[in-house]
């Protein structure tokens, strides 16, 4: 469910704003987000969790734009952060520390220090080595850091091998069968308070079964740990709920919530870390046709958006449904084409064999479900500027991240003069 629809004139709009208006004002490529969809997804998920003692800690990595975060913070969201930068963003929009969890396999000492100072709800710890650093940093600050181990339940789940994290062969978490021993070690540390258990098995999971088996294993572990005398107050179940991409259906939040109720019950405080579910279908990537290239074997639509603006098709073979922004009048003769970017790599392909009405230079094309892991994974490859972002709300829109100028893109580079004719190896 989203708020990108065609108006009576056949023009694709984000809520009440025609996309060509945004293209003219901001230029393309550009990401466009619908605030109404963000609000709706947050509320649908919250309502699905009714009856549970839950905290929705939005996973910033999916889309950390401050305007997106501010809206979610106003709706009551907490934050799942994985870096000092994300912690800073969460704090800037006023997300209270008791609604922030810190995840990630490689937290640095200084990031741990920032999170200890902020007094966050919980560190989701991924290794004994990390636990030792948290203990030391918290101890030096005269504090005890609240921790959960991220346990790896050894289940296979996730839309793509690169985003499946719950199998024991991945770098994530500690093996669930070693958890009791590790919790015992944690309890003995003066800078640590054991508060919970954490699990996250992957992303874009469309089937309820892996969640059921992972949560079932966590419930068993919680019982053992409580019997061992640990005060397990929080169970963080991570994110990963699969969403619709084009015609492919997602995992209904209600189905997911039923699995949570059936396995974890209602007695413990539960933290959820959805990212994609909240923002995925709230965003589209808007691009212009630069050229129609029809003189080779295939018909290419060359766009001004590239793999560095939306990396998912290249990286995961992901399909973001392409649509034309202006629907043709009457019966247009649809033709099969490949939508590609201008970057010098043959992997710079958004979609192959797509049936679209005739297109010409200057026409607009939009890709769906681009709100999650879209703009945030963009780069300046080929010295193309970072793609800007726009938020629409009703009839209004604002640029929430502008396109950098050439000067801004160059500003971090410093000259360092090196002689062109120096001889290799000479003193």
Q: Active-site residues: which are they?
A: 344
Is residue 63 close enough to count as binding ligand LLP by CB under 6 A?
A: no
Helices 35-48 and 253-264 cross at an angle (nearest 10°) of 30
Measured from the CB of residue 372, what is the shortest distance to ligand LLP in angstroms?
6
Binder to ligand LLP among 83, 103, 213, 314 (CB under 6 A)?
103
Would you give the distance in Å from CA 83 to the centre of its chain? 14
Give the span between the Cα atoms of 196 and 97, in whole angstroms.
Answer: 16
Residues 198-257 that bind ligand LLP (CB under 6 A): 200, 203-204, 238-241
159 or 322, CB closer to ligand LLP?
159
Give the span between the Cα atoms of 165 and 239, in whole angstroms.
Answer: 11
Measured from the CB of residue 160, what is the shortest distance to ligand LLP in angstroms?
7
Q: Could you tell me which stretch among 84-92, 125-133, 270-278, 383-391 binds ligand LLP (CB under 6 A)?
A: 270-278
Residue span 343-382 as binding mask against ligand LLP, x where in contact by CB under 6 A, dash where not: -----------------------------xx---------
| Helix, coil or strand: residue 5 | strand
Cβ–Cβ < 8 Å for 31, 286: yes
**Strand-strand pairing, 174-175 and 30-34:** unpaired
Residues 293-332 that bind ligand LLP (CB under 6 A): 312, 316
208 or 277, CB closer to ligand LLP?
277
Residues 13-52 that bind ligand LLP (CB under 6 A): none
Is residue 126 close enough to count as binding ligand LLP by CB under 6 A?
A: no
6 or 316, CB closer to ligand LLP?
316
**Strand-strand pairing, 122-125 and 174-175:** unpaired
Cβ–Cβ < 8 Å for 30, 389: yes
| Helix, coil or strand: residue 128 | helix
Measured from the CB of residue 165, what is the shortest distance to ligand LLP in angstroms?
6
Q: Is 155 exposed, middle or buried, given 0-12, 13-18 or 19+ CB atoms closer than 10 A?
A: buried
Residues 394-423 that bind ligand LLP (CB under 6 A): none
E strand map for 44-173: 54-59, 78-81, 100-102, 122-125, 145-152
Residues 273-292 that bind ligand LLP (CB under 6 A): 273-277
Residue that the structure tokens 């580079």 belong to: 413
86 or 304, CB closer to ligand LLP?
86
Give the span between the Cα atoms of 397 and 353, in whole angstroms.
Answer: 33
Is residue 163 close enough to count as binding ligand LLP by CB under 6 A?
A: yes
How many of the other CB atoms lie within 10 Å of CB of 377?
15
Cβ–Cβ < 8 Å for 329, 10: yes
103 or 393, CB closer to ligand LLP?
103
Measured from the CB of residue 78, what is the shortest distance to ligand LLP in angstroms?
12
Would you give the distance in Å from CA 192 to the centre of its chain? 29
| Helix, coil or strand: residue 40 | helix
Measured from the CB of residue 5, what is the shortest distance to ligand LLP in angstroms?
25
240 or 253, CB closer to ligand LLP?
240
Torsion from C-alpha of 100, 251, 278, 195, nearest 10 degrees: 0
Size of the site for ligand LLP (CB under 6 A): 22
Residues with Cβ within 8 Å of residue 119, at least 6 apart in sequence: 97, 98, 143
Measured from the CB of residue 333, what is the shortest distance to ligand LLP in angstroms?
35
Measured from the CB of residue 273, what is the shortest distance to ligand LLP in angstroms?
4
Q: Could you tell me which stretch among 15-23, 57-65, 252-260, 405-413 binds ligand LLP (CB under 6 A)?
A: 57-65
Q: What is the contact surface with ligand LLP in residues (CB under 6 A)?
A: 59, 61-62, 80, 103, 163, 200, 203-204, 238-241, 273-277, 312, 316, 372-373
């Amino acid at each position: 469910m989203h708020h990108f629809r065609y108006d009576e004139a056949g023009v694709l709009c984000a809520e009440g704003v025609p996309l060509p208006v945004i293209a003219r004002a901001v230029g393309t490529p550009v990401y466009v987000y619908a605030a109404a969809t963000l609000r709706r997804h947050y509320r649908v998920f919250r309502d699905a969790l009714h009856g549970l003692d839950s905290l929705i800690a939005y996973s910033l990595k999916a889309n950390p734009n401050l305007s997106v975060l501010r809206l979610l913070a106003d709706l009551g969201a907490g934050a799942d952060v994985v870096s000092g930068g994300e912690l800073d963003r969460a704090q800037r929009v006023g997300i209270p520390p008791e609604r922030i969890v810190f995840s990630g396999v490689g937290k640095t000492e200084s990031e741990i220090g920032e999170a200890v100072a902020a007094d966050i709800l919980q560190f989701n710890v991924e290794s004994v080595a990390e636990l030792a650093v948290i203990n030391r940093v918290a101890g030096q600050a005269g504090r005890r850091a609240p921790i959960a181990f991220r346990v790896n339940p050894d289940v296979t789940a996730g839309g793509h091998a690169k985003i499946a994290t719950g199998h024991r062969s991945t770098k994530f978490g500690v093996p669930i069968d070693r958890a009791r021993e590790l919790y015992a070690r944690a309890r003995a540390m003066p800078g640590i308070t054991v508060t919970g258990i954490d699990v996250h098995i992957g992303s874009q999971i469309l089937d309820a079964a892996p969640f059921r088996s992972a949560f079932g294993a966590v419930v068993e572990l919680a019982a053992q740990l409580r019997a061992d005398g640990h005060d397990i107050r929080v169970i963080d179940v991570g994110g990963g709920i699969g969403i619709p991409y084009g015609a492919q259906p997602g995992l209904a939040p209600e189905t997911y919530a039923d699995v949570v109720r059936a396995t974890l019950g209602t007695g413990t405080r539960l933290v959820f870390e959805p990212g994609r579910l909240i923002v995925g279908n709230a965003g589209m990537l808007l691009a212009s046709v630069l050229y129609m290239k029809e003189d080779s074997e295939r018909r290419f639509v060359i766009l001004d958006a590239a793999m560095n603006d939306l990396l998912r098709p290249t990286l995961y073979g992901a399909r973001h449904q392409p649509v034309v922004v202006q629907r043709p009048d009457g019966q247009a003769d649809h033709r099969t084409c490949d939508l590609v970017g201008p970057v010098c790599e043959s992997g710079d392909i958004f979609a192959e064999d797509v049936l679209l009405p005739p297109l010409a230079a200057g026409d607009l094309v939009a890709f769906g479900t681009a709100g999650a892991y879209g703009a945030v994974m963009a780069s300046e490859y080929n010295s193309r500027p970072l793609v800007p972002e726009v938020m629409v709300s009703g009839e209004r829109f604002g640029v929430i991240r502008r396109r950098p100028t050439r000067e801004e893109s160059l500003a971090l580079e410093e000259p360092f003069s090196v002689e062109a004719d120096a001889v290799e190896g000479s003193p």
